[in-house]
Homo-oligomer: A and B are copies of this chain.
Amino acid sequence: MARTAGSHSALTAPRIREAAQALFAQHGYAAVSMRQIAAEVGVQVGALYNYTSDKQSLLFDLMSSHLDDLLSARAEDQTEADPVQALEQFTRFHIRFHARRPDAVFIAYMELRNLTPENFATIEAMRRRYEDGLSAILRDGQAQGAFRIQDARVATMAIIAMLTGVNTWFRKTGRLSLSEVEEIYWGMIRRLVVA
C-alpha cells in the first residue's frame, strides 16, 4: 500500500487540524497521541508528518491561528468610538466569538503550559493585545467620566474572566439562548463600570 485513492493535501490538511483540535480539547494535548489523531483522520501516523513538523507545531498552529482569528475579527467588529457603546460591542463580540469555537478557546486556555517557551511568548503576546483592547476602552471611559472604575487593569481581568467563563456552562440546548446571555452579561458589565 502507499498513496490512497482520492487523497489530496487540500482535503487532508484541514481534517488533521480538525481532528487534533477536537482531541486536544477533549483529552488534553499530552494525553493525545499522534496515532489517535491519525486514526481519527483515517490515515497512518507517518502521513501526519507531511503536514506538520512535529506534535508541538500542531498545537502551536491551532493556538496561533485561533488568536489570529480573534484579533482580526475584533479589529473588524469594533466600530463604536463612544466608550459605553464600545464596551457593549466588546461584550457582545466576545461572547459570540467564543461561543462559536469552544474547542479552540478551551485549548488556548488550557494548553499554554505545553508550549515551548518561545511559542508561549508568542501566544501570550497575542492574548495580551486582545486584553489591551479592553483596557483601552475602560481607560477611555474613565478619562471621559463615563465609567467609574477603581482599577482599570483589575477591571479588565475581571471582565475577561467573567466573559470567558460563559464557555464553561453555556450550552446551545440550555435554558437561555446566546442572545439572552449577551443581554444579561451586558447588563451586569454596564452596572459594573458605567458611572
Contact = CB atoms under 8 A, between A and B. Distances in A.
Contact of A165 (B26, B157, B188): B157
A160 B150 contact: no
A28 B158 contact: no
A168 B157 contact: yes
B154 A181 contact: yes
A27 interface: yes
Given A154-B181, A162-B165, 4 more contacts: A31-B114, A157-B166, A158-B162, A191-B192
Interface of A: 26-28, 30-31, 110, 113-114, 150-151, 154-155, 157-158, 160-162, 164-166, 168-169, 176, 181, 184-185, 187-188, 191-192
30 contacts: A26-B113, A27-B113, A28-B28, A28-B30, A28-B113, A28-B114, A30-B30, A30-B31, A150-B187, A150-B188, A151-B176, A151-B184, A154-B176, A154-B184, A155-B188, A157-B166, A157-B168, A157-B169, A158-B185, A160-B165, A161-B161, A161-B162, A161-B165, A161-B168, A162-B165, A165-B165, A188-B192, A191-B191, A191-B192, A192-B192
Q: How many copies does the complex hold?
A: 2
Contacts of A26: 113
Contacts of A185: 154, 158
A97 to B, nearest CB: 17
Most chain B CB within a 10 A radius of its CB, from A166, A176, A192: A192
Most chain B CB within a 10 A radius of its CB, from A158, A176, A191: A158
Contacts of A188: 150, 155, 158, 192
Contacts of A114: 28, 31
A7 to B, nearest CB: 31
Contacts of A113: 26-28
A164 B185 CA distance: 18
